[in-house]
Chains A and B, each alone.
Chain A
């Protein structure tokens, strides 16, 4: 009988012959860890590529370590001693877990782990000989205290003729492969500044909302502070992970590699899958900005110029020209009062920009990924601004006027006695300016958004100052005022002409809305505009009538306005969910849509069936389809076995599928069922994480060698 060198546990009759008494076994155990050397085959062919594995079974509360052990600890090491000409590859590390002890965070494994390595058998091994693999395995196992341990393991594999059965090997190998990280299906990029490292995962589709946990495990110590939180910001189909640099921060040019572990809550419990990450660095050094450095003057100057240019934007110009017209009208006013109006107007703009900046910072720290015009990611906001533009346009066209004034909304505000009017003109100018900035100022504001809050705020305030500047100059320079043209009928004409840019802006916004919420949103938006126009017209014609008519008119226009707003709100909401329906993939499909009738029919015929219950928002489902179910090997296996592949889409919580999920004790997807051939066979439930081998083996097991 052979004994393992350390604490022999194996009184198992060995398949392998014992050459001498000191030879190691394929198994060895310490007080905390039971280790065994396993292979993907029972025998090897010359030239074969096989997988070797070392499995560690660890007693509860203890753990061994990943290649990057985190703040302390030591990764497991395997030194293979192989026959001449054979080579073993690097360890293929499964996705680790986080082990936190007070302020210290480690990356490792508890309960059990299998460390796989590829092995190439040399072509020249003699048939009938024994290919013997020896492994010296060295690990640190810790609970509170840590114990370094080392075992020697050995496994003898007979060399058989090419073509001869090499056996199934250990089932643990396949289980281990399911725990390996897979290639990421998403676009992953990084941004790096002195303030930290941001990992951006894009292209999650609708799945981002269903993610339970995300953690990035860096391959090397020091790139990331291991015990620091990794706050994540989800917006749309993008997740941003905020990583705090560790004691050996990554240079901006270097590759960032590691594993992104994503945990998803599914009906059958939570599923964690690792995705390998390799993000190239940037070629150029990052913009060097820290909170303590002064804001680059050029950025401020650019923002100021940008602000001045904003005055010419189709959305802003009408509002401002009205303001300027008012100035012309009051040209004979007291100069001091005019100046004060200019100052208050500037204050209105600056405060609005400050509020915008603060909201941006709050959103940035709170989560969402944002850009300038971030508000426009909300279809409701887009609709509201489109309505506003349209209403201002109507007012400029003279369809209605606010109060007793003959001018429009902007003018009403501008002409409001006192400084409140000037202040709100500033606010209005900022509100209408935002949609126009998106296309023109994107780059400059993109810079500001990537900056720390003080820089961001200063850039915003410069932009606001630029917007306010022309009017501010005008109000402070009587000589400039004198050069303005004399008031006259042209003012009214100009005002009316200005309505058209407003209508054009509304059209553009409706187009944006259509892209966000689908074609139906156009009907909602345009219908709402008709209602608004009606409200405006009704308001205007009844305004100068008797009290009762005036009230009735006002009531009906209010009703019409409410209809527009509510109709818009609910219309856009429903059409947004309508557009979210997944578009079915027709091309090259090797599956049929699931229905219980179809399943029953196939079962009655005794045909084998593979059923996949999936949903567009389920990450594991889509990854399994990508890495396993759409692989050639699986499609071939289905074809050869005459297996019908049914796919049930649970994206919209189909009650028929809900019932069958419940039958199998599940409350959600994924669920994979394989019904072997035969009328009354029991279905096999496959695991929630698939590899091509898991599927093909499940299928092969039932079909049998017959």
Chain B
């Protein structure tokens, strides 16, 4: 019957509209984190999906950025990396600086820099095309994301609460990552799950 076909058509168009409205561009806390695979400093290809079962921290970085320097020269990030490792969390540095731009390094340099700084991330992920950065809508260095063992995004945002390049502010600031790590260790959910990142713009190509 004509009416039946008509209602089918209406239903089909409704379903289509709803489906389109469901697609999100950016990662959303409590939603699955975008998956990627990329080259790393130890020469392997890392696939995020393979890290299911472990909590993962992604740290966008650029060793020449004054805000990154603030947190490495003060030893702040190094101690967070240690704390994370003790809790069995996989800490990944992500470098989205395009070739020729500030912070772009090869694997050897990345390893050397970490050795010099006493930094101990589980690995460093290279993203010279910026595709992972855009997948996570990363805008700053430093900027951090925490993903739970089920692949759900638990945290996105900055490292602490005082946006400045001054090391003296670190002690005064609320360290979001350190608090999140403690909450995770206590089996609690992260209270401040989305915070304002601050720092240098990620040096994407173009």
| Residue ranges of A at the interface with B (Cβ–Cβ < 8 Å) | 69, 71-74, 101-104, 106, 138, 140, 142, 144-148, 221-222, 247-248, 291-292, 343-344, 346-347, 350-351, 354, 452-454, 457-458, 461
Contacts and interface: CB of A to CB of B under 8 A. Distances in A.
Contact of A452 (B21, B139, B203, B204): B21
A148 B14 contact: no
Q: How large is the interface on B (under 10, 10 to 19, 20 to 34, 35 or more residues)?
A: 35 or more
9 contacts: A72-B198, A102-B205, A103-B133, A106-B201, A145-B102, A148-B67, A292-B18, A347-B2, A452-B17
Contacts of A344: 2
Given A145-B102, A457-B13, 9 more contacts: A72-B139, A72-B198, A102-B202, A103-B134, A103-B204, A104-B201, A104-B204, A344-B2, A458-B14
Interface string B1-24: 111001000100110011001100
B137 interface: yes
A142 B165 contact: no
B140 interface: yes
B139 A71 contact: yes
B137 A103 contact: yes
A665 B22 CA distance: 54
A174 to B, nearest CB: 32
Contacts of A350: 6
A471 to B, nearest CB: 14
A244 to B, nearest CB: 10
A248 B204 contact: no
B164 interface: yes
A104 B134 CA distance: 10
Given A72-B200, A103-B137, A222-B196, A148 B21 contact: no
Contact of A145 (B18, B64, B206): B64
Contacts of A145: 64-65, 102, 200, 203
A344 B198 CA distance: 63
Contacts of B157: 247
A148 B165 contact: yes
Contact of B201 (A138, A142, A354): A142
Interface in B87-102: 101-102
A162 B205 CA distance: 60
Contacts of B164: 74, 138, 148
A247 B6 CA distance: 41
A457 B140 contact: no
Given A72-B140, A347-B3, A354-B10, A247 B201 contact: no
B34 interface: no
Contacts of B198: 69, 72-74
Contact of B200 (A146, A291, A454): A146
Contacts of A346: 3
Nearest to B98: A102
Nearest to B157: A247
A144 B102 contact: yes
Tell me what chain A mostly uses at the interface: helix, strand, loop, or mixed.
mixed
A163 B17 CA distance: 72
Contact of B66 (A147, A248, A292): A147
Interface in B149-197: 156-157, 163-166, 194, 196-197
A448 to B, nearest CB: 14
Contacts of A142: 200-201
B130 to A, nearest CB: 7
A522 B18 CA distance: 46
Contacts, number: 97
Contact of A454 (B6, B18, B64): B18
Contacts of B2: 343-344, 347
A453 B102 contact: no
A138 B164 CA distance: 9
Contacts of B140: 71-72
Contacts of B134: 103
A343 B14 contact: no
B22 A291 contact: yes
A103 B137 CA distance: 8
Most A Cβ at <10 Å: residue of B137, B201, B202? B201
A103 B139 contact: yes
Contacts of B202: 72, 102, 104
Contacts of B101: 144
A146 B201 contact: yes
B128 interface: no
A100 B38 CA distance: 27
Contacts of B6: 347, 350-351
A101 B205 CA distance: 9
B199 interface: yes
Contacts of A147: 66
B18 to A, nearest CB: 5
A369 to B, nearest CB: 21
A151 B206 CA distance: 33
Nearest to B165: A148
B66 A146 contact: yes
Nearest to B206: A102
Contacts of B13: 457
A101 B18 contact: no
Contacts of B197: 72
A103 B203 CA distance: 10
Contacts of A354: 10
B100 to A, nearest CB: 10
Contact of A457 (B10, B65, B200, B205): B10
Contacts of A247: 156-157, 194, 196
A350 B66 CA distance: 63
Most B Cβ at <10 Å: residue of A222, A247, A351? A247
A145 B69 CA distance: 13
A291 B66 contact: no
B3 A343 contact: yes
A140 B18 contact: no
**CB-CB nearest 4 A-B residue pairs:** A148-B165, A291-B21, A71-B139, A102-B204
Contacts of A458: 14
Contacts of B64: 145
A71 B66 contact: no
A221 B194 CA distance: 12
Contacts of A72: 139-140, 197-202
Nearest to A195: B21
Nearest to B200: A146
A147 B163 CA distance: 14
B163 A74 contact: yes
Most A Cβ at <10 Å: residue of B17, B67, B157, B194? B17
Contacts of A69: 198
A102 B101 CA distance: 13
B31 to A, nearest CB: 13
A144 B205 CA distance: 11
Contacts of A351: 6
B194 to A, nearest CB: 5
Contacts of A454: 14, 17-18
Contacts of B14: 454, 457-458
B107 to A, nearest CB: 23
A687 to B, nearest CB: 33
Contacts of A144: 101-102, 203
Contacts of B10: 354, 457, 461
Nearest to A71: B139
Interface in B113-167: 130, 133-134, 137, 139-140, 156-157, 163-166
A536 B203 CA distance: 74
Contact of A101 (B3, B102, B156, B201): B201
